[in-house]
Chain A
């Protein structure tokens, strides 16, 4: 340990100890070539199977039609769109952490941003499946994009769906770019450190010949900041636009101006929950206690608490506006149907998971207990799924004309696809852990240097 490093050692630090550049590099780069642990292998196998099941379900759906799902008239949207919104929401934490917290100069983001960005990408990939799958004729999905067709027809851009298409594709592409740009120096490091020649060549190609020269750093720095600056409004816009799929309609329970902020908050809530669900085991498996410290957990827990309160506020606001508007349909939807209708149980489950369970984080001890964090995160993820269930299924099942009211019951294909995406998500994630350093080495080394610098000053 170098002398200055000895100064700070309390667990409140975002970096325990002051490991040297060499130490950090060895520890964090080696996650890609260290032999795989048993836990990892088991997880990979399970996810593989689930992914296979996803493949089967998707094939079935495309061959026979979405009649295989539980959807009906009135409930024309079911699991497909619920899962879409849920996954997209999860995808939000990544960019939030890496972009917004970067601009807010939150140091605790550094060691987890790559990780969460990865999560974002894979979540958005799951989400992207659904708008495609839920179409009656998926093979015409490209009609959503404007191209000179011999039919001389175009997309109808007053609909929120083309907005969605644009938003989701943009969000995915930008996330990939952001992620890759951040990766380049680490890829270069792997090029120069990886054990086998093949690995070094592969990494070398993707490193594009990065040398870390002043001129490269000069543009790199600005580009990275700009991407963060662009991703920040983007991440806010994406879920706002997703929320417009509902807010732009006249359906009671959808037709609401509060949706955009409400959805973004919910997205970040579910996103952070998923971050914790993933990072706690990873931290344990790869023994990264020094870079992912209680300080990180604490911060994440606080985010959960804050966003869950925003969400709670939105629920209350919905009820109030419904009552205050005096609109008979809105009143019925919000004050009768959801809390006491066919799906009342889902409503109360949602409230418990999203608003009650998170309250434990008023306690500092809870905020730092991995077990509690993990449990609550799982609850929140479930709760947020059911929030989308409330919005989509429950609202549709009872809209304007009572004559067409009807209940929605999912089929085994619905459940199979949901499980499948979970597996596919896990599969990608586990692979990601092995392919690139999931803690940004370069950024961490730089942060360490700055911290040492500051400490020397003191």
Chain B
């Protein structure tokens, strides 16, 4: 199963607050589910740890970019003034190291910042204007005041419990955790295409 396919949500639940979301996730984890993802309007404290997502390694990219930018800038300045076209400027030495520093620093910062922004976007899987989850009714509140949890199709525990009874159990568990809605998105159907059969059951 491809990465995208295995990440495709099979089960999604909507909560009204961060804490509630965390409870719901605990419930799912209780039933052995591991391939979880959450969608929140803002960072919910403890969420990342609960889902076992490691801290971002993006810093290393940024460091590399900074070194490249700064080093490149200094080298260029050195080459211009010492190698390519040395000129006597006010009796200053060709290799005027102190004078080269400001630009070196600025270029380091520039490259680093650009790297930070771009990697944040790319690593976050963006730009991606369409995503399966957008097809879900009411998901648009995920950026406002709703907190969603999703179980990926690739979840190892899923096959074991994915039957009528299992679904009922999990739904009730989530309901107990305070889920407003629980959606089962039929796995049999083709992924990545709008208009799934939406087998909904009332949590209450």
Interface residues of A (CB under 8 A from B): 20-22, 25, 146, 152-158, 162-163, 166-167, 169-170, 173-174, 177-178, 180-181, 185, 188-189, 191-193, 204-205, 208-224, 226-227, 230-231, 233-234, 237, 241, 244, 442-443, 445-446, 449-450, 453
Contact = CB atoms under 8 A, between A and B. Distances in A.
A221 B43 contact: yes
B123 interface: yes
Contacts of A169: 110
A210 B42 contact: no
B80 A154 contact: yes
Interface residues of B, number: 63
B129 interface: yes
A220 B102 contact: no
Summarize B's interface: helix, strand, loop or mixed. Answer: helix
Contacts of B188: none
Interface in B110-163: 110, 112-114, 116-117, 119-121, 123-131, 133-134, 140-145
14 contacts: A21-B144, A146-B80, A177-B114, A181-B120, A188-B143, A192-B143, A209-B130, A209-B131, A210-B124, A214-B48, A219-B119, A223-B117, A226-B59, A450-B45
B85 A153 contact: yes
B58 to A, nearest CB: 5
Contact of A208 (B113, B128, B140): B128
B40 interface: yes
Interface string B22-61: 0000000000000001111111110110010101101100
Given A205-B129, A208-B121, A220-B124, A173 B110 contact: yes
Nearest to A227: B116
A99 to B, nearest CB: 11
Given A181-B120, A222-B59, A449-B42, A216 B125 contact: yes
Contacts of A162: 103
B6 interface: no
Nearest to B63: A226
A22 B145 contact: yes
Contact of B84 (A152, A155, A218, A244): A152
Contacts of B173: none
Contact of A158 (B40, B96, B125): B96
A280 B116 CA distance: 33
Contacts of A21: 41, 144-145
B64 interface: no
Given A157-B81, A163-B102, A214 B143 contact: no
A218 B48 contact: yes
A214 B53 contact: yes
Nearest to A444: B42
A25 B140 CA distance: 13
B37 A442 contact: no
B123 to A, nearest CB: 4
A439 to B, nearest CB: 14
Contacts of B131: 209, 211
Interface of B: 18, 37-45, 47-48, 51, 53, 55-56, 58-59, 62, 76-77, 80-81, 84-85, 89-90, 92, 96, 99-100, 102-103, 105-107, 109-110, 112-114, 116-117, 119-121, 123-131, 133-134, 140-145
A409 B189 CA distance: 78
A157 B77 contact: yes
B112 A215 contact: no
Contacts of B55: 218, 222
Contact of A189 (B109, B129, B143): B143
B39 A154 contact: no
Given A212-B41, A215-B53, A218-B53, A189 B127 contact: no
A157 B80 contact: yes
Contacts of B77: 157
Top 4 A-B residue pairs of the complex, sorted by shortest distance between their CB atoms: A223-B120, A21-B145, A192-B140, A216-B124
Contacts of B102: 163, 166-167, 237, 241, 244
A192 B59 CA distance: 31
Contacts of B84: 152, 154
A227 B51 CA distance: 26
Contacts of A212: 39-42, 142-143
B141 A158 contact: no
A117 to B, nearest CB: 14
B109 A233 contact: yes
Contacts of B133: 211
A223 B58 contact: yes
A166 B102 CA distance: 8
Nearest to A164: B102
Nearest to B36: A214
